[in-house]
């Protein structure tokens, strides 16, 4: 009996009928000939409610359902979740579905409505976009079933208390990996870089086909075979590519719900995977007031799992970044010349100049690329027309701050330091472009 009342819910239609009967009772005090009518309607309504309850509750398992979630969610991406439902009743039903999604999404009315025939199976799909890494706890999947009478509902609960972790963007990683394998990176905005010269190591000699560089013709092999033969050079492999991620407070600036730190983490996951696919070695360093993580570069089978697991657990203490500690760790632990991709953020020229001595020292032993972000809110302010004096002052300040970003790029380039100044949403594409450019030009 207790279980019955836990599952029983009354609909708005029932309360509407009750309101009408109460109104008739009130009117019957003034008109004697209406006294019988509200009583008849009341008992008819009670009988109909009983019949509706019997129809819904006589079957022990009238509806079966489940929420199907991935083993993990991808941060910053639209993740598909499924709701699978089956109607075991012998009559059509109406379903109201309320899914208790994690509190991080701040959604309190995640609602679906559905009508199902007897014995029918249905699958509903919806999408969630998390913006923070960590554990996300789902509550129950609540399904309220009602018959065509529609006076009461029976509640069913499925898939209660399930935890799903949110990892760095593995969906983005797979997307770029598949397109890189199929040689269609241009479709995502990846530029095709013309190679400058060749590496000294020749892989093989092959027959000439239209499109081969005629400068690679091997005339001795051509004379022996009596047909055009060309040298086939192989790219430099097993180069070390390190992603150096600044976790200090400057990386907590939000953009479309995600912090710059999470954009950097997603990008470093993608570039590490691309580097390994290109037969280079990928490594990882995270730092703020001290170096927190140093994962040696490798291209072994388990390396991407180690990188993903390491990135998942990264948190910030909201302290200032210590580039001197970073320089000391790199000098001590990375002895081979490597490509260092530093994800950080400089808002002012003076802020960059404080770290410039350490960046210059890093650039002496390694190929250094400093990656930092455009302030997109400043861009929006610059594009708005200024009509009042205050707006003119604000726009002038915004122009000064935006110009300082380009001064930072110029100053770094003057010291032979590669730079990427990018909007957060273009971070991954621009980083891959720079990596492929450096590979094509033989810098690594």
Mean pLDDT of 255-279: 92
Task: Please give the pLDDT value at position 102.
Answer: 94
Q: Report the C-alpha gap between 299 and 306 in whole angstroms.
A: 11
Pairing verdict, β 202-207 and 229-233: antiparallel
Task: Please give the pLDDT value at position 164.
Answer: 95
> Who has greater pLDDT, 440 or 327?
327
> pLDDT tens across 269-309, in order?
999 999 998 889 999 999 999 999 999 999 998 999 999 99
Name the least confident of 217-221, 287-291, 360-364.
Answer: 217-221
Task: Please give the pLDDT value at position 346.
Answer: 92
Mean pLDDT of 182-188: 55
Q: Could you tell me where the DSSP H helices lie in 62-182?
A: 170-181
Residue 95 in this model has a pLDDT that exceeds 90: yes
Sequence-ordered strand ranges (E) for 79-161:
79-87, 93-99, 111-116, 121-128, 134-138, 141-146, 152-158
Residue 196 in this model has a pLDDT that exceeds 50: no
> Who has greater pLDDT, 299 or 231?
299
> Who has greater pLDDT, 350 or 237?
350
Residue 179 in this model has a pLDDT that exceeds 70: no
> pLDDT tens across 408-427, in order?
999 999 998 999 999 999 99
Residue 70 carries which DSSP code?
Answer: -
Identify the band that residue 40 occupies on the pLDDT scale cut at 50, 70 and 90. Answer: confident
Q: Report the C-alpha gap between 322 and 289 in whole angstroms.
A: 5
> pLDDT tens across 96-136, in order?
999 999 999 988 778 899 999 999 999 999 999 999 999 99
Task: Name the average pLDDT for the chain.
Answer: 86
Task: Please give the pLDDT value at position 242.
Answer: 96
Residues 428 and 184 sit within 8 Å (Cβ to Cβ): no
Residue 91 in this model has a pLDDT that exceeds 50: yes
Three-point CA angle 377, 285, 73, nearest 5°: 65
Task: Please give the pLDDT value at position 128.
Answer: 94
For residue 109 the two structure tokens come to 């009315």
Identify the band that residue 201 occupies on the pLDDT scale cut at 50, 70 and 90. Answer: low
> pLDDT tens across 386-395, in order?
777 777 777 7
Q: Report the C-alpha gap between 227 and 233 in whole angstroms.
A: 19
Q: Report the C-alpha gap between 408 and 390 in whole angstroms.
A: 28
Task: Please give the pLDDT value at position 385.
Answer: 79
For residue 113 the two structure tokens come to 């409505």
- Provide the 3-class DSSP secondary structure of residue 289: coil
How many residues are listed for the chain in this entry? 444
Residues 179 and 273 sit within 8 Å (Cβ to Cβ): no
Return the percentage of the chain with pLDDT > 90, whole number: 53
Task: Please give the pLDDT value at position 86.
Answer: 95
Identify the band that residue 210 occupies on the pLDDT scale cut at 50, 70 and 90. Answer: confident
Three-point CA angle 261, 262, 268, nearest 5°: 90
Task: Please give the pLDDT value at position 238.
Answer: 77
pTM: 0.80
Domains defined for the chain, CATH in brackets: 1-164 (2.60.40.10), 170-194+236-440 (3.40.50.410), 202-233 (no CATH)
Residue 193 carries which DSSP code?
Answer: P
């Amino acid at each position: 009996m207790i279980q019955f009342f836990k599952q029983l819910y009354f609909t708005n239609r029932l309360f509407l009928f009750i309101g009408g009967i109460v109104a008739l009772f009130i009117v019957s005090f003034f008109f004697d000939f209406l006294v019988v009518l509200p009583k008849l309607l009341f008992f008819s309504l009670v009988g109909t409610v009983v019949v509706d309850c019997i129809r819904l509750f006589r079957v022990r398992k009238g509806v079966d359902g489940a929420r199907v979630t991935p083993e993990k969610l991808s941060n910053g991406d639209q993740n598909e979740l499924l709701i699978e439902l089956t109607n075991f009743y012998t009559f059509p039903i109406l379903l109201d579905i309320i899914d208790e999604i994690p509190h991080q999404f701040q959604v309190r009315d995640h609602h679906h409505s559905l009508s199902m025939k007897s014995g029918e199976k249905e699958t509903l799909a919806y999408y969630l976009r998390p913006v923070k890494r960590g554990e996300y706890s789902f509550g129950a999947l609540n399904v309220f079933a009602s018959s065509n009478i529609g006076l009461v509902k029976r509640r069913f609960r499925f898939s209660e208390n399930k935890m799903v972790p949110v990892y760095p963007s593995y969906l983005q990683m797979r997307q770029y990996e598949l397109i890189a394998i199929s040689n269609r990176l241009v479709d995502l905005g990846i530029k095709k870089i013309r190679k400058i010269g060749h590496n000294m190591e020749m892989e093989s000699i092959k027959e000439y086909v239209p499109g081969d560089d005629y400068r690679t013709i091997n005339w001795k092999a051509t004379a022996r075979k009596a047909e055009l033969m060309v040298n086939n050079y192989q790219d430099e492999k097993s180069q070390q590519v390190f992603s150096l991620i600044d976790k200090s407070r400057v990386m907590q600036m939000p953009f479309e719900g995600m912090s710059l730190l999470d954009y950097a983490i997603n990008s470093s996951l993608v570039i590490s995977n691309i580097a390994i696919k290109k037969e280079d070695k990928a490594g990882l360093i995270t730092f703020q007031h001290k170096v927190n993580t140093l994962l040696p570069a490798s291209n072994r089978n388990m390396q991407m799992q180690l990188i993903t697991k390491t990135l998942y657990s990264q948190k910030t203490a909201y302290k200032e970044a210590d580039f001197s500690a970073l320089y000391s760790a790199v000098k001590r632990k990375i002895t081979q010349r490597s490509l260092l991709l530093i994800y950080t953020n400089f808002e002012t020229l003076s802020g960059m100049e404080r770290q410039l001595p350490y960046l210059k020292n890093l650039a002496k032993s390694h190929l250094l690329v400093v990656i930092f972000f455009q302030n997109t809110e400043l861009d929006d302010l610059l594009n708005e027309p200024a009509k009042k004096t205050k707006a003119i002052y604000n726009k002038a300040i915004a122009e000064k701050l935006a110009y300082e970003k380009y001064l930072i790029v110029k100053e770094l380039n003057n010291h032979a330091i590669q730079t990427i100044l990018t909007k957060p949403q273009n971070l991954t594409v621009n980083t891959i472009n720079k990596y492929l450019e450096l590979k094509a030009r033989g810098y690594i």
